[in-house]
Structure 1
Amino acid sequence: MNDSSQGLAEAGGEGVEAALDKSPLYLRIRDVLADAISRGRLPKGALLLEGPVATLFASTRTPVRQALALLEEGGMVRRFDGRGFLVGQGRTGPKRVTLTADMLGLDEEAPALRKAPGWEAIYESLEREMVHLSVFGRYRINEVELARARGVGRQVARDALMRLEALGIVEKDERMRWTLVPLDEQRMRDLHAIRVALEPVALLQAAPFIPPADRKAMTERLEEALAVYPALSVEAMDDLETDLHITCLGYCPNRELLIALRRAHFMLNVSKHVIGVSHRMPEDEPFIAEHLAVFRALDVEDFARAAETLRHHIVVSLPKVIGRVAELRGVHRPDMPAYATPVARAGEPA
């Protein structure tokens, strides 16, 4: 058990609740699971699968995957010859128990995720709304009106906007006013050019450090998704994108390279909010087979081929994204939120 998990295990309810107050989602999930394990609510050998855990926390699988990896590092769960993780150490076989909110202490009396930062409650829908709106031009965003529209305090609205700013979805103008950055074709090409140049380099450096078991699990998810497409949720598609472009690349030891890629990965959010939400699922799956080709090369440790396959995947994805955004622009007219005001083009009256 690592220091943070040990601290939670020994803390009372107030200690856990305080620790959960401001930490990232994957850390809060880890801490709730660690507390449940230490208190015996999750028995030794209990099987933990990403999907059921994510359902209980009303999250995607990505933060659950990160939480389970941290618990494995701390010795609280272990892998076995099967999918998922088992609680505790030793040779105990899997116990297929039905996870419940009570087992994880997620009832009203127990410390759970209710202390999540306020911006998380509005962020996902706000990001989608902003991405859709950005397709139609540049808009000024009124922080006060945004807070009023979402029924939150101004600080919560500001926190959400700051996260959008980190992705390059919004920015501040010369008068420090929030502005929605337009998503035009040139911007998409510029962002893709960064990804084409940097992602293969990041993968080449990351490849030796990706745990084989994690790589195998990602490959299995792709194979399962390919078999059932298009019967996939938007969340499942986003998880598959995250596996390759975020999780795998995250093992790159060059942190400055990953920071340089952060804004360019905004394009992943564009696809997430267009495919299956405001745009029909493509008849042909958009990227699963291409991702599988990258993982096949990683499996045989042909890292150069994996990097080149990734580069090709990014190159061929650009026309698809441009086409989807163009179609969205042609057939969709979003409701104009009260907090957004169009910004006139150069030469037009403000």
Structure 2
Amino acid sequence: MVRAMNGTAQVLAEEAEAGLDRSPLYLRIRDVLADAIASGRLPKGALLLEGPVAGLFASTRTPVRQAFALLEEAGAIRRFDGRGFLVGQGRSGPKRVALTAEMLGLGEEAPALRKAPGWEAIYESLEREMVHLSVFGRHRINEVELARARGVGRQVARDALTRLEALGIVEKDERMRWTLVPLDEQRMRDLHDIRVSLEPLALVRAAPFLPPAERRAMTERLEEALAVYPDLSVEAMDDLETDLHITCLGYCPNRELLIALRRARFMLNVSKHIIGVSHRMPADEPFIAEHLAVFRALDVDDSARAAETLRHHIAVSLPKVIGRVAELREAHRPDMPAYAVPATR
């Protein structure tokens, strides 16, 4: 008899099955772009930007960014004095071409690599709502009411909750009811213990596999952000966190280690949904210089120093996050959504 998978296992299985094959999405995006360049469908000098390309592949920008790094390393695209990349080599300026699915071979005869599932349309706002609500204790979540409130089918609502379950934001109680896990100080400390112990190890394992071009691109984004802070969007700040804590560590070949880190990643979501949303940007930038120090160590192949720098960065971030959550709890009252009611164990 086949046992039903728990939420995390289901997410991992679906991620492995996504697309036309099981290779990572960024490699498939790279291959499609490389073929379009080689065939001439993408002309020399064409401007490639992460956002429009991600839209054509129904993906986030992270795998597109990884694909661009590999294409740059191969000489298929190049940087220039502007945002994005240009196809081919040379000194000519950007050729602003309106990218289409057909140019990339993604027309009806070759559909997109990954059809965006329905839950993605509601996920980001739902995650933010859940994170804010978790600050105020445990709540029971009604799946039917959630679907009605968001104007989606029940399966879409369940799929979104399953993703939240994989991050430890919600869980099922002994009666298989969805419950929102409260975000108290002890839980934040527990999750930080996991990150302090495992992220530095994952970084050491990942370092030999991190493409130099992608590492340089991450460093440049940090330098540019540091120069203009606080004139940065919440999305830009989240991208910088993603570069180090998710994309970079994602090159670790120990998949079990990455699975163990998945739930602790929730702490990144807390900062993302509080800084710049419920709170103003801090007067002093919160992490950019610390991330730069990690990449500086990686640049000289000193993975031990990079790991120790990362460990220190995670350790000193804990009081900041605890403080922001405490301020949120004191200064705001949650708007109680129709699908949530306070619960006690």
C-alpha distance in structure 2 between counterparts of 1:301 and 1:29, whole Å: 28
> Does the 8 Å CA contact 1:36/1:103 hold for their aligned counterparts?
no
* Residue aligning to 2:119: 119
- Say whether 1:98 aligns with 2:59: no
CA-atom RMSD in angstroms: 3.2
* Residue aligning to 1:293: 293
Q: CA deviation at 1:245?
A: 0.6
Query: Between Structure 1 and Structure 2, how many residues are aligned?
Result: 321
- Say whether 1:325 aligns with 2:298: no
Q: CA deviation at 1:19?
A: 6.1
Distance of aligned partners of 1:37 and 1:122 in 2 relative to their CA distance in 1, 3 Å threshold: farther
C-alpha distance in structure 2 between counterparts of 1:196 and 1:273, whole Å: 21
C-alpha distance in structure 1 between counterparts of 2:314 and 2:342, whole Å: 32
C-alpha distance in structure 1 between counterparts of 2:49 and 2:132, whole Å: 33
Q: After superposing the two structures, state which structure 1 stretch, 251-260 or 169-178, moved more.
A: 251-260
Q: Which runs of 5+ in 1 are unaligned?
A: 1-17
Q: Which runs of 5+ in 2 are unaligned?
A: 1-17
CA offsets, 1:240-295, max 9 Å, x none? 00111111111111111111111101100110000001111111000000001111
Q: After superposing the two structures, state which structure 1 stretch, 32-41 or 308-317, moved more.
A: 32-41
Distance of aligned partners of 1:255 and 1:311 in 2 relative to their CA distance in 1, 3 Å threshold: same
> Does the 8 Å CA contact 2:215/2:295 hold for their aligned counterparts?
yes
Local SS of the residue matching 1:174? coil
Local SS of the residue matching 2:94? coil
* Residue aligning to 2:154: 154
CA offsets, 1:36-65, max 9 Å, x none? 658855213423233564578897532421
Q: CA deviation at 1:221?
A: 0.3
- The one-letter amino acid paired with 1:156 is V
CA offsets, 1:165-208, max 9 Å, x none? 00000000001111100000000000000000011111111112
Normalised by the size of structure 2, how large is the TM-score? 0.82
Q: CA deviation at 1:155?
A: 0.5
C-alpha distance in structure 2 between counterparts of 1:296 and 1:85, whole Å: 24
Q: CA deviation at 1:213?
A: 1.1
Q: CA deviation at 1:28?
A: 8.9
CA offsets, 1:130-164, max 9 Å, x none? 00000000011111110000000001001100000
* Residue aligning to 1:15: none
Distance of aligned partners of 1:214 and 1:102 in 2 relative to their CA distance in 1, 3 Å threshold: closer
* Residue aligning to 1:263: 263
- The one-letter amino acid paired with 1:96 is P
Q: CA deviation at 1:212?
A: 1.2
Local SS of the residue matching 2:147? helix
Normalised by the size of structure 1, how large is the TM-score? 0.81
* Residue aligning to 2:316: 316
* Residue aligning to 2:195: 195
* Residue aligning to 2:340: 340
Distance of aligned partners of 1:102 and 1:159 in 2 relative to their CA distance in 1, 3 Å threshold: same
Local SS of the residue matching 1:118? coil
CA offsets, 1:198-231, max 9 Å, x none? 1111111111221111111111100000000000
> Does the 8 Å CA contact 2:136/2:183 hold for their aligned counterparts?
yes
- The one-letter amino acid paired with 2:131 is V
* Residue aligning to 2:47: 47
Aligned ranges 1:70-149 → 2 under 5 Å: 78-80=76-78, 82=80, 84-87=84-87, 91=89, 93=91, 96-100=94-98, 102=100, 115-149=115-149
Q: After superposing the two structures, state which structure 1 stretch, 246-255 or 280-289, moved more.
A: 246-255
C-alpha distance in structure 2 between counterparts of 1:24 and 1:303, whole Å: 25
Aligned ranges 1:228-267 → 2 under 5 Å: 228-267=228-267
* Residue aligning to 1:5: none
